[in-house]
Amino acid sequence: MSKISIVVPVYYNSDTLMMLYEDMKEKILGKLEDYELVFVDDGSGDNSWEIMNQIKDMDGNTKCVKLSRNFGEHAALLAGLSVCTGDCAVTKQADLQEDSEIILDMYESWKKGNKVVLAVRSDRDENPVKKFFASMYYVIIHKLVNEKMPVGGCDCYLLDRQVIKVLEMLDEKNSSLTLQVLWAGFKTDHVYFHRRDREVGKSRWTLSKKIKLAMDSMLSFSYFPIRFMSTVGVIFFLVSILMAIEVIVEKVAVGTPILGWASLMCVVLFSFGCMMLMMGILGEYVWRALDASRNRPPYLIDEIQEKKEV
């Protein structure tokens, strides 16, 4: 009999946790052969930890993990995967925007031999601006970073125990867990679902976190930023050579005086701005190398609560 672990990262989700458990209990838990719920409190400042333990008292298959502080969803998922005991594990968001029944479809796909099953958005009920920027991110990642990334994006995924061991071995910080899963290259299947708009609670997925994810995804898995800098440098070099030739030819042939202080300053300032941009990109690489060299763990577990067997 195979066992599936359902890993749920928790960050200020006190208003949805009990609803999430009731939804899973009604729709899927009774249909699974054997299951384990792993809730990971990623430094929430509300009473999420207390509600997680209430669920543990209601369901003996529940394990509650508390991190020492907020490390981010990537670290929270890794922490949950590190303590789960299932033959496979599926990640589940606590915001009620994805139907719990997709876990059954992913579980069936895993039984057929797929070691990674991605839950891909076929559509989403969010406002047009949010949909546009989310779609743009996944299109960019698909084109420039990893062509295996679904254009619609994925919110959760099921991983075989073998894949979990690979992720634990990688132990990367400032990275994208989804791209790590795709990089591993195991046999992958897709399950499609319609993402609902958030009706309860407030999203903590801020703009700064989205920008950091985009930068982590690009810098950790693609040569594009370095190649972009090289390309801009070559273009500027060629343009400067052509402009120098044009000025010299005009001076010799026509006698035009070499003037244009304002235009020259515009070029200088633009070039300086480009150089600062390149230095910023290089700085991001240097910071990530420094952070990795410190060898600090991506998360620290403060406490684990589970129902004791009598």
Q: Distance (Å, rounded) from C-alpha 69 to C-alpha 263?
A: 52
Residue 165: CB atoms within 10 A of its CB come to 12
**The dihedral formed by the CA atoms of 76, 77, 78 and 83, expressed in degrees to the nearest 10:** 90
Per-residue pLDDT of the chain (310 residues; tens, 9 = 90+): 789 999 999 998 888 899 999 999 999 998 988 999 999 999 888 899 999 999 999 998 999 999 999 888 888 999 999 999 999 999 998 888 888 899 999 999 999 999 999 988 877 666 777 777 777 877 888 888 888 888 777 878 999 999 999 988 887 777 788 888 888 889 999 988 877 666 666 766 667 777 777 777 777 777 788 888 888 878 877 877 777 787 777 777 777 666 666 667 777 777 777 888 888 888 888 887 877 777 788 888 988 988 755 4
Look up the CATH architecture of domain 4-221+298-306: Alpha-Beta Complex (3.90)
| pLDDT of 296 | 81
Q: What is the pLDDT of residue 262?
A: 61
> What pLDDT score was predicted for residue 287?
80
* Cα 66 to Cα 10: distance, rounded to the nearest angstrom: 9
Task: List the chain domain ranges.
Answer: 4-221+298-306, 224-293
In angstroms, the CA 296 to CA 261 distance is 52
pLDDT tens per residue, range 216-258: 777 777 778 888 888 887 887 787 777 778 777 777 777 766 6
Residue with tokens 């620290």: 300
Judge residue 43's burial from the number of C-beta atoms within 10 Å of its C-beta, 0-12 exposed, 13-18 middle, 19 or more buried.
buried
- For residue 159, the SS3 value is strand
> Alpha helix (H) ranges present in the chain?
17-27, 48-58, 73-83, 102-111, 128-140, 161-170, 177-184, 207-221, 224-253, 261-293
